[in-house]
Amino acid sequence: MLTTVVFDADETLLDLRPAVTGGLVAVLDEMRRRTPDAAGVTLAELESDWGAVFGELSAAPVMEIRRAALARSLARAGLGDHLDEIADLFFARRFALTRPFPDVPPALVALRRRYTLGFATNGNSRAERCGLAGEFAFEVYAHENGLPKKPAPEFYAAVVEVAGVPAEQIVYVGDSWEHDVVAPRRAGLRSVWLNRHGLPRPAGLIPDAEVSTLAELPTVLSDLPAASSDRVDLGIGLGRGWTDSPA
């Protein structure tokens, strides 16, 4: 029996990309205000700086990765000495613009009638800064108290510990195939893939359920069959390996 529903944050509950873009637009405007050397710098270049640093820093806290990306952006215009203030500007704008998808509030209301709700993320989208204050019985953040990021099994073990119920009573809901479907199943949790964009399902693994919107989730969970270890093959078909959302 399912008792607990735990959500990923970015691109699952939170419409992150417009907020990140808005933060970078604020950064670019400030760069151009400070120096004519920034006149030729483009928003596309600032957006690309995340990917340029991510590979080397993928295990680091998301805020550190963003600061490294901003440092690369500022170096394009000789503004490297202003990282702290520009980072503060970015994060202030990014959090001010970060809000839940429209389907999130009604889904949480419906689910809370039957389940304990949790929030567990690799990113720096703290619930109280993103329009989700008070929505969850518990919250788990990678890198707090040394907790490694998804897909490390320790992350899901922490979710199970704080939830206080057996892993098979927990379903993890998220948009990343590797982080929110494959890895939770390996850790003994159930999983639901939120496929907002109609992507093809990777071969070789069957999630407990797939939804295109969280409006479908209450009904899907109520109809979910009992857990069975022979329903999936966790050894193959990992599918697309996504990086963390560019927070």
- pLDDT at 244 (0 to 100): 66
Give the C-alpha separation, 111 to 130, whole Å: 20
Distance of CA 123 to the CA centre of its chain: 6
Could you give the CA distance from residue 62 to residue 129 in angstroms, rounded to a whole number?
A: 16
Q: What pLDDT score was predicted for residue 234? A: 44
Element at 211 (helix H, strand E): strand 209-211
Q: pLDDT of 155-197, one tens digit each?
A: 999 999 999 999 999 999 999 999 999 999 999 999 999 999 9
In Å, how far from its chain's centre is CA 76? 28
> Which amino acid, one-letter code, is at 204?
G
Residue 218, both tokens: 């209450």
Per-residue confidence (pLDDT) for residue 227, from 0 to 100: 67
pLDDT reported for residue 198: 96
* DSSP H or E segment with residue 139: strand 138-141
* CA separation for the pair 86, 225 (Å, rounded): 50
Q: Who contacts 84 (Cβ-Cβ below 8 Å, separation ≥6)?
A: none
Q: How much is the pLDDT for 173? A: 98
pLDDT score recorded for residue 88:
98
* Residue 209 C-alpha from the chain's centroid: 19
Rounded to the nearest 5 percent, the helix, strand and coil shares of the chain are: 50, 10, 40
Average pLDDT per block of 10 residues along the chain, 247 residues long:
97 97 98 97 98 94 96 98 98 97 98 98 94 97 95 98 98 97 96 96 87 98 73 40 61
